Chains A and B, each alone.
Chain A
Amino acid sequence: MTYDAGHYDVIVVGAGHAGVEAGLAAAKMGAKTLMLTLNLDMIAFMPCNPSIGGPAKGIVVREIDALGGVMGKVIDKTYIQMRLLNTGKGPAVQALRAQADKPLYIKEMKNIIENEKNLTLRQGMVDSLIVEDGVCKGVITETHAAYRAETVIITTGTFMRGKVLMGDLEYESGPNNQRPTIKLSENLEELGLEITRFKTGTPPRVNSHTIDYSKTEIQPGDEKPQSFSYETTEYITDQIPCWLTYTNEFTHEIINENLSLSSMYSGMKRGTGPRYCPSIEDKIVRFNDKPHHQIFLEPEGRDTEEVYVQGLSTSLPESIQHGMVRSVKGLENAEIMRAGYAIEYDAIVPTQLWPTLETKNIPGLFTAGQINGTSGYEEAAAQGIMSGINAAAKVLGKDPVILDRSQAYIGVLIDDLVTKGTNEPYRLLTSRAEYRLLLRHDNADLRMTELGHQLGLISEERYAKFVEKYRLVEEEKKRLQKLVVKPSPEVNGILEEAGAAPLKEALKAYDLLKRPELSYDLLAPIIDAPELSNEVTDQVGIQIKYEGYIKKANEQVDRMLKMEDKKIPSDIDYDDIGGLATEAKEKLKKVRPLSVGQASRISGVNPADISILIVYIEQGNIARLAN
């Protein structure tokens, strides 16, 4: 029935934001990789908002880049606007966000994939997995092609049994009317994976020519050139603005009157939607005292007139959407080009995964991206690169790569997913990271590049540049520690101008830089600043200024890592541990944490259970030693 279509090390099913990073990472590490996707014209398509980055997410993009991924490079080549957010706040929470040119993004990404040696790109719909003796050995497509492989990564996004909802209209579909993946979802269920059902939504797009921008507020990009990738050297200066407007009482009246027509409010039981990405119906119902809600008008690209109406995500019938859109200031004559809709889809309960993103029950099978219950392109890409690295590592006989919570937002994301699970589409927020002062936008390279280089994802040239950068940082820090600044009219003049108290006695430049009002640039004339790039001086400034806080965070990390180092034997039998509370026992059996640290983060496992676990493990260790 099937025909032999070839043998690969790694097969990636899907070529969205997770799939492309997975395929490229695996291929670059030396694994012979096949990437199968439904539609070659939709590689790394953005079915929802035309933007990449933002708080926490922007830092993830930097981390992916510092590990050797591509999302940062592609958006740097294709943005229509770039902004650094939270510039008025501390360095830990600053993050980049770019408005993407959607069609161009697809074109760039496809080109990178096509040119990657070791990576085969092919159009095809995967119907089922080849599983032999409980181990995943490949995939079978609807055209009866049987591809065999050592590892398979599924990155099917919201396509699995996807169902589009708009008023009373509902039909099986992937996002944007692409074909849904039905059989694969059924196959995964048959193989014993636990599936949950989530939903998300997208707003209407309107034609730019029909918007009266004079009634809205302009939201321009930054003038200062910025980039996600540490390798980007060319910047796009010709930026396109976004625009801000608001809903009003008329909008809310229309929505309230027609609420019962919305798919999500028609009384049917539906998948769980994300709280942080509510439909406009949700906003009106849950916050009915708010007189207006913000609407951002975001162009979808340079060569298209489609404009994304951020803030109006809806599953109301198309007939109502027209009036709703036109009630908004500036959109009185707006023509909808595509109506908004909600989409329901199957997701895998992510506690079924190891922190490597390999499924616990089917060795060789990995899953990454929205299929694991996350939302967002960046979250998907982050899982994509980690699954690609770990699938390739498995084939190549290398150690698995697991990032901890103090190393990267990527680590926080995956640890949360596999340890705690999620009951709504999961989005990264800065508040999910305990050590966010360490997980900064500016030091993603310091955190990830060494690892990326070891894995073969970072070029020698880039690595040498990275090493040199931090050599200069250390050298300059040492210099400032030795340099004494004496009070003088010149020094105090500069201090006064910055609003800082004048010097009364001599002070180390290092300590002077700790004063909140002062920055490296400001002090440059009085500290004999050598010729250094902004990258280096920024790093010097941040490391010195926040030294105390960074030290405190590092102490917490040390305590956390001590618990991570206490490994739990893989053959542990939790039923054998008498003292464990029943709830803790059930959770531990399900999550099967790799370390005591991971166990301690499972909800329902309390400190006494952890103490008991430690004693039990130690008992085993002593027994082993005795033998």
Chain B
Amino acid sequence: METDTITAISTPVGEGAIAIVRLSGPEAIPITAKLFKGKNLRKVESHTIHYGKIMDPQTNEVAEEVMVSVMRSPKTFTREDVVEINCHGGMVAVNRVLEIILGSGARLAEPGEFTKRAFLNGRIDLSQAEAVMDLIRAKTDKAMSVALKQMDGRLSGLIERLRQDLLETVAHVEVNIDYPEYDDVEEMSHDTMRKKTKEVHAEIENLLQVAKQGKILREGLATAIIGRPNVGKSSLMNTLVQENKAIVTEVPGTTRDIIEEYVNVRGVPLRLVDTAGIRETEDIVEKIGVERSRQVLKESDLILFVLNYNDVLTEEDEKLFKAIQGLDYIVIINKTDLDQKLDLARVKELAEGNPVVTTSLIEEAGVDELEKAISTTFFEGEIDTGDLTYVSNVRHIQLLKQAKQALEDAMEGLKLEMPLDIVQIDVTRTWEFLGEIIGDTASDSLIDQLFSQFCLGK
């Protein structure tokens, strides 16, 4: 039996829909009750739902109006005490509730962890163990790759720099310990350590501010829409965005501005890019050649390649296929409302197993299939993917907070004039938390740093 309480957003996000924050574990009810203004949830019957407000304990303000379901062990999904907090949608509100809960003693669930607990507590049948393992694998891999892809390069760069700073400081303390007679470096002083921790602390606070505004994530996975002129690229974008921001016209090449749109397709955050560079397909492939256009396209996480059902496959189309070979792409055969001139068998052959969907964007046909194809490209199999959209952001914030707390412990130790080798324990923890954000937890780094920074030995 697990002893800690986990939480996560357990519904896909959609504008206006109700989002649920779920808690499971021995502290699920006490943690919620502490934050809940309304009935005393500790005393309510099992399997009942209650209206009230989630309070932010730090500001004592109302964070969100909610409906809370209380379900006591063992008749629950995980067979532990479970609480579900229904929020009125909106990423900001639901994230805030989750953050407050994370600050009150629950831990962010790992991908697939609710299901894992359900299994470990005997709720899920033995025959389904295989499925549970597959789900953990898929969810974790995707969560990690989505998280990494979503992080802005500058931010990961900043975190890496902070980590390097901390690592050098830690290595300095370590060299003082392991090589006390090594006179090439001065003994690390409390003052230097104070200065260093203060600097890093300020940077982490900044990062937290940025993260809270939601800017730590790139706005979705970069998605390029390509295809010959007038195949329906802008219509596709419009359909996905459901707004008329791009100019739709029958004249080839009239999409003037570089347009970016953020859309959420079944839990997959996409940043649709329709840039001049990628728009003029004949330009990029012919002017800069297949190899270089591949470089441009490689920067995209997903390519939507639009073909015209009403036209034969041209040399250009074949070149584009070559340019996107090996990348993640979906072929969209548009204009099925018109007569077929396209050789579908040849398209399937060229697509090499990538999904091919047919649409008539004018008649709004085939859009469901397209969205399904997008979602399965990133999340294989039948997986509830909703939480992945923002789990990475919450995870980042949580880790940043833990890093900040560890650093504050170090600063407290410095204030108390604790020996530096003890203060350093908390500095190392800070370094580890920051490492988890960017997926780097190699424990040998310190020893590598030690021997590259200092000339040691007998």
Give the B-binding residues of A (Cβ under 8 A).
Answer: 48-49, 55-56, 85-86, 88-93, 203, 274-278, 283, 286-287, 290, 293-294, 296, 310-311, 313, 429-432, 436-437, 516-517, 546, 549, 553, 577-581, 603, 606-608, 611-612, 614-616, 618-619, 622-623, 626
Contacts and interface: CB of A to CB of B under 8 A. Distances in A.
B243 interface: no
B455 A578 contact: no
Interface stretch (B216-224, B267-275, B352-360, B413-421): B413-421
A89 B177 contact: yes
25 contacts: A86-B180, A89-B421, A90-B419, A93-B177, A93-B421, A278-B456, A294-B183, A310-B458, A311-B457, A429-B178, A429-B447, A430-B178, A431-B446, A431-B447, A516-B418, A579-B136, A603-B442, A608-B111, A611-B110, A611-B112, A615-B119, A615-B133, A616-B129, A618-B120, A619-B126
A92 B422 contact: yes
Contact of B180 (A85, A615, A623): A85
A431 B183 contact: no
B8 to A, nearest CB: 15
Contacts of B136: 579, 608, 611-612, 615
B122 interface: yes
A388 to B, nearest CB: 28
A430 B177 contact: yes
B148 interface: no
A517 B111 CA distance: 47
Given A287-B455, A437-B425, A618-B120, A608 B141 contact: yes
B116 interface: yes
B140 A607 contact: yes
A85 B120 CA distance: 49
Given A90-B421, A92-B422, A615 B120 contact: yes
A544 to B, nearest CB: 14
B177 A55 contact: yes
A614 B133 CA distance: 9
A4 B430 CA distance: 62
A294 B112 CA distance: 55
B182 A294 contact: yes
B75 interface: no
Given A608-B136, A611-B140, A516 B417 contact: yes
B402 interface: no
Given A311-B458, A431-B178, A608 B451 contact: no
B-side interface size class:
35 or more
Contact of B455 (A293, A607, A611, A616): A293
Given A203-B458, A516-B416, A90 B137 contact: no
A58 B274 CA distance: 65
B60 to A, nearest CB: 29
B176 interface: yes
Contacts of A626: 126
Contacts of B418: 90, 516, 549
Contacts of B129: 615-616, 618-619
A581 B451 CA distance: 32
The 4 closest A-B pairs by CB, nearest first: A90-B419, A608-B140, A579-B133, A619-B129
A409 to B, nearest CB: 13
A516 B458 CA distance: 35
Interface in B418-458: 418-422, 425, 442, 446-447, 450-451, 455-458
Contact of B137 (A85, A290, A437, A579): A579
Given A516-B417, A579-B134, A294 B457 contact: no
A441 to B, nearest CB: 12
Nearest to A608: B140
B439 to A, nearest CB: 9
A576 to B, nearest CB: 10
| From A55, A93, A581, residue with most partner B Cβ within 10 Å | A93
Contacts of B116: 611, 614-615
A307 to B, nearest CB: 14
B451 A276 contact: yes
B174 A430 contact: yes
Contacts of B363: none
Contact of B457 (A283, A579, A623): A283
A58 B147 CA distance: 44
B419 A431 contact: no
| From A278, A429, A432, A549, residue with most partner B Cβ within 10 Å | A429
Nearest to A430: B177
Contacts of B364: none
Given A276-B451, A603-B442, 20 more contacts: A89-B177, A89-B419, A92-B421, A277-B457, A278-B456, A278-B457, A429-B447, A430-B178, A431-B178, A431-B450, A546-B422, A607-B140, A608-B111, A608-B136, A608-B141, A611-B113, A611-B136, A612-B133, A615-B132, A618-B129
B291 to A, nearest CB: 31
B349 interface: no
Contact of B458 (A49, A86, A436, A580): A49
B184 interface: yes
Contacts of A88: 187
Contacts of A578: 130, 133-134
Nearest to A613: B133
A453 B70 CA distance: 53
Interface string B154-182: 00000000000000000000101111111
Nearest to A277: B457
Contacts of A275: 451, 457
Interface string B138-156: 0011000000000000000
| From B116, B119, B450, B458, residue with most partner A Cβ within 10 Å | B458
Contacts of A549: 418, 422, 425
Nearest to A612: B133
B157 to A, nearest CB: 23
Nearest to A601: B443
Given A608-B141, A615-B132, A290 B458 contact: no
Contacts of A606: 140
A537 B397 CA distance: 45
B119 A86 contact: no
Contacts of A93: 177, 419, 421
B455 A283 contact: yes
Nearest to B179: A55
Contacts of B184: 290, 294
Contacts of A618: 119-120, 129
B137 A608 contact: yes
Nearest to A57: B178
Contacts of B179: 55
A198 B182 CA distance: 26
Contacts of B110: 607, 611
A367 to B, nearest CB: 24
A49 to B, nearest CB: 6
A562 to B, nearest CB: 8
